[in-house]
Amino acid sequence: MKLPPLNALRVFLVVARELSFTKAANQLFLTQGAVSRQIQSLEAFYGLALFIRQPRSLALTAEGEALLGPVSAAFEQIREASEALRVRQGDIRVRVAATPAMRWVLPNLPDFQTRFPDYTVHLETLLGDGMPFDRSRNDLAIQGVREGEQHPGMVLETISQELLVPVCSPDLLKGRPPLREPDDLRHYTLLHPWRGQNSWAQWLELAGASKVRSEEGLTFDALEFALYAATRGMGVALAQLSMIEEDVRLGRLMVPFPVILETEWSYCLIYPEEMASLPKIRAFRDWLMETLALSGVTRVMG
């Protein structure tokens, strides 16, 4: 069965609540005659009367009463769905790896909210990388992407290539063997920032250290945890250069060796191609790139 005329149902709903063509017409900014014609078209569609018309009153027929509940519920569902959709246009749902969240996004988020008060950012942090982008949950993502990875239908903009250096707290060296050459790391606990990766082995090989057991030490689920442990003097961590500027400047961390390991990973901003022109996507993307360029993390992308 085909659907009844939806505009006539909307008029029916107002008339049924007011039990007055005149009051319904005022609410709907229509003439009384236009309201009457909409009701007549609906009654013609069903082939039965929906109202009992009396000289000074209006009442629903039994059929009108039966129709009122479902029509009212249906329009309420439409109203709720429309409101949710309207609100969502102001929401920016960003999935971000733990360390970029702490180092890049959260410290600068007040600036975004000041500049774009109509948008609300919702952060979903995750540990690890490689999770597929979920369009139903997120508008954008900031995460690590391995060189050569394919993400059909997605825009990937490189924020920062992964460049790793060893870092430790200056207090770690007090009363301990000095770190004059990479092999001196054998006297310290290695802090591994990611499970299942051999970054320390790669760095030690690049630095020419042959006396350090790269597999030993403490392993964490995210760089942020390894950096926290390093600032507390628990050992020496490998850290992304773009993540440690503040810690080094404030003396919480130091870089004992200048050897930089360039890996196959990069941090990228990811979002669906079909959403690239949305104002909220452009606003967050442009703000993020500008903010990180000013802080030296990245250059402004074209």
Rounded mean pLDDT, 165-185: 95
Q: Is the pLDDT of residue 175 over 60?
A: yes
Domains belonging to the chain, first-starting first, are 6-88 (1.10.10.10), 162-264 (3.40.190.10)
Round to whole Å and give the CA distance between 177 and 185: 9
Round to whole Å and give the CA distance between 68 and 66: 6
The pTM assigned to this predicted structure is 0.68
Return the pLDDT at 78.
82
Task: Catalogue the long-range contacts made by 74-79 (C-beta closer than 8 Å, 24 or more residues apart).
Answer: 75/9, 75/10, 75/13
pLDDT in tens, 84-140: 555 567 889 999 988 899 999 999 999 999 999 989 999 998 766 556 788 878 899
Return the pLDDT at 207.
97
Return the pLDDT at 137.
84
pLDDT in tens, 229-249: 999 999 999 999 999 988 999
Rounded mean pLDDT, 46-65: 91
CB 128 within 8 A of CB 194: yes
CB 191 within 8 A of CB 172: no
Q: How many CB atoms lie within 10 A of CB 51?
A: 18
Return the pLDDT at 130.
58
Q: In degrees to the nearest 10, what's the CA dihedral of 251, 255, 260, 265?
A: -50
Round to whole Å and give the CA distance between 235 and 226: 9
Return the pLDDT at 182.
97
Rounded mean pLDDT, 60-67: 93
What's the whole-number average pLDDT of the chain? 90
Return the biggest CA–CA distance within the chain.
103
Q: Which residues of 277-297 are buried (b: 16+ CB within 10 A; e: fewer)?
A: ebebbebbbebbbebbeeeeb
Q: Quick one: pLDDT band at residue 302, thresholds 50, 70, 90?
A: very low
pLDDT in tens, 132-169: 788 878 899 998 888 888 889 999 999 999 999 999 99
Q: Does residue 83 or residue 53 have the better pLDDT?
A: 53
Q: Quick one: pLDDT band at residue 4, thresholds 50, 70, 90?
A: confident
Round to whole Å and give the CA distance between 251 and 268: 28
Q: How many CB atoms lie within 10 A of CB 61?
A: 14
Return the pLDDT at 88.
63
Return the pLDDT at 195.
81
